[in-house]
Structure 1
Amino acid sequence: MGLLMVKLAAVGIEPVTFWLRDSLCQPQVIGPPQPIVSIVGDDVILPCHLEPATDAVAMTLEWTRPDLNPRFVHLWYDGRELVSYKHPSYMGRTSLFIDKLKHGDISLKLSKVKLSDEGKYRCFIPTLGRNCIVQLVVGAVSSPVVEITKDSSGVDLGCESKGWYPEPEVFWLDGEGNILSAGPTETVRGPDGLYTVSSRVTVEKTDTNRFTCRVQQQNINQTRETQIHVPDHFFTATQKKEQESQREQLKSQLEEVERQEEENNENERKLQSAIWIVQGMRKKPLLEVKKDLERRKAELDEQLQKKERALKIKEGEVTNVTEYKRKTENEKEQIKVKLKEKEKGKGDNSLTT
């Protein structure tokens, strides 16, 4: 290379220009423009290639995660993998496409993906001084389970889905695909880092009685849903309860209306009576009202006098009875005295004889 630079300098070509052109002619390490998404348990390919296509069989290739220690995920050196430098969590789970290395395909296959595999991966060829970064997004999904329950308010549907990552959203849809209004989603994250989500919704009878619980995670573009058909008899029983409850409510409302009407009628009667009294008093002159009151007073006084006279008569009768009783008692005492004297006289005669 030094001899070439001397020859180039001799003909007037700057060495710097040569090195720039030589650098531009080197293969580029090209990765994907978007993050790679994988599901827990699946196999995933982290794409990386040389452009223009260059045989990489004899090159040193480093797949690393800068946030780990040791950082090596897969180290290719001298036509073989150096396992001793590898991070323990990737043991037995990484591989290259050996038959494609000669065509510049240096992609990495990662098997049985784990949540902990999520992160940034660096594909680097030291001899070229080139690298690219591949972002791996790991998700976990599961199908939701739906159950039917009945309560006083109607037919209640419950949906639960376990083992999601990242945290998903839950939606309820009717038979036509319209989103239903449901309660807040309950979310629990387990010790394994996975999310369990659950949601409940109260539904009414429709033409199809079909409802869907949809769980989705937009970051990993994953959706799982379960559809359920609610038999008519669930709604029939609920409708009967609702009708009975409505009848009771209607009956109570009617009774309240009747009570209020009766109360209003009574108030109207009292008001009307007051109006009549006021109107009657307004129709009569004040003098006539005074005469009426005096006449009424005279009538009451006469009635009082009659009662007083009757009371005096009664008192006189009581006095007479009392006097008669006293006289009777005196006469009784006199008779007793006479009887005693008579008996005594008989006794004295007997002794004389």
Structure 2
Amino acid sequence: MSPSQRCAHVLLLMFSVCRMSPVSCQNKVNASVGETVLLTCSVSEVGLALKDASVYWTDKDDNTVLDIIKNEPDLSSQSDRYKDRVSSFPDRYQAGNFSIQMKKVQLSDSSPYDCKVPQLGFRNRVTLNVSAKRNGPGPEPGPEPGPGPSGGAVVTLNSIHMTVLSVTVLSCFI
């Protein structure tokens, strides 16, 4: 097999692996008590699959942080610990952005949070680490975080993608 054929086969394999199912990503967010944070959740599968999407944000104890049912925030089952502190960006749902904003974070908010889109088999985990407020003068707090660059689109390569990409590049030179 020629190097160019090998490279083509590996690229095809990489494309197949990446298209098997939406990627589950893991992100970490650090904050101090009282800050506002953005917990990101972006799905690459856009279009008809997201027309009536249901998305479930939960914490480590399976408490409901926020449910989005058929592209509408649903606060009816939201845990009391998140009431009036968690919001989302409904104008970004159709683009696959189901990120949430959590205000006035507390030490007890330190937890992994899961964003699940069952109809796509998608799960995104964001780990929030909250530390005690800094003592002494510090920088003035900035504006509240928005949904992110490019309308909240977040592209994250996980370790599987990085491994496949590395093997692809290396195989083209062997």
Rounded to whole Å, the distance in 2 between the matches of 1:143 and 1:104 is 39
Rounded to whole Å, the distance in 2 between the matches of 1:112 and 1:135 is 16
Is 1:41 aligned to residue 17 of structure 2? no
Match of residue 77 from structure 2:
85
Rounded to whole Å, the distance in 1 between the matches of 2:134 and 2:29 is 20
Question: After superposition, what is the alpha-carbon deviation per residue over 1:290-312, rounded to whole angstroms, capped at 9, x for unaligned?
Answer: xxxxxxxxxxxxxxxxxxxxxxx
More RCO (CA 8 Å, sep 6+): 2
Is 1:99 aligned to residue 106 of structure 2? no
Asked if structure 2 preserves the Cα contact closer than 8 Å seen for 1:31 and 1:47, the reply is no
Aligned-partner SS, 2:120 = coil
Rounded to whole Å, the distance in 2 between the matches of 1:137 and 1:57 is 33
What is the RMSD of the two structures over their aligned residues, measured on CA atoms?
2.5
Question: After superposition, what is the alpha-carbon deviation per residue over 1:226-272, rounded to whole angstroms, capped at 9, x for unaligned?
Answer: xxxxxxxxxxxxxxxxxxxxxxxxxxxxxxxxxxxxxxxxxxxxxxx
Return the match for 1:58 from 47, 52, 61.
52
Match of residue 67 from structure 1:
61
So what's the TM-score if we normalise by structure 1?
0.31
Asked if structure 2 preserves the Cα contact closer than 8 Å seen for 1:96 and 1:106, the reply is yes
Where structure 2 has 5 or more consecutive residues not aligned to the other structure, the ranges are 1-15, 138-174
Change (3 A) 1:54 1:36: farther
Aligned positions of 1:192-341 closer than 5 A: none
Rounded to whole Å, the distance in 1 between the matches of 2:51 and 2:83 is 22
* Cα displacement (A) at 1:103: 1.0
* Cα displacement (A) at 1:49: 0.7
Question: After superposition, what is the alpha-carbon deviation per residue over 1:276-321, rounded to whole angstroms, capped at 9, x for unaligned?
Answer: xxxxxxxxxxxxxxxxxxxxxxxxxxxxxxxxxxxxxxxxxxxxxx
Change (3 A) 1:57 1:116: farther
Rounded to whole Å, the distance in 1 between the matches of 2:43 and 2:87 is 17
Rounded to whole Å, the distance in 2 between the matches of 1:117 and 1:57 is 31
Asked if structure 1 preserves the Cα contact closer than 8 Å seen for 2:71 and 2:90, the reply is no
Match of residue 121 from structure 2:
129
Larger radius of gyration: 1
Matched residue type, 2:78? K
Aligned positions of 1:109-128 closer than 5 A: 109-128=101-120
Rounded to whole Å, the distance in 1 between the matches of 2:73 and 2:44 is 23
Match of residue 225 from structure 1:
none
Aligned-partner SS, 1:51 = coil
Question: After superposition, what is the alpha-carbon deviation per residue over 1:71-120, rounded to whole angstroms, capped at 9, x for unaligned?
Answer: 21101112322222111010011111111111111111111111111101
Matched residue type, 1:59? A
Match of residue 339 from structure 1:
none
So what's the TM-score if we normalise by structure 2?
0.60
Where structure 1 has 5 or more consecutive residues not aligned to the other structure, the ranges are 1-20, 146-353
Matched residue type, 1:90? Y
User: What is the number of residues matched between the two proteins?
Assistant: 120
Rounded to whole Å, the distance in 2 between the matches of 1:110 and 1:122 is 14
Matched residue type, 2:43? L
Name the structure where helix makes up a greater proportion of residues. 1
Matched residue type, 1:140? A
Change (3 A) 1:63 1:57: farther
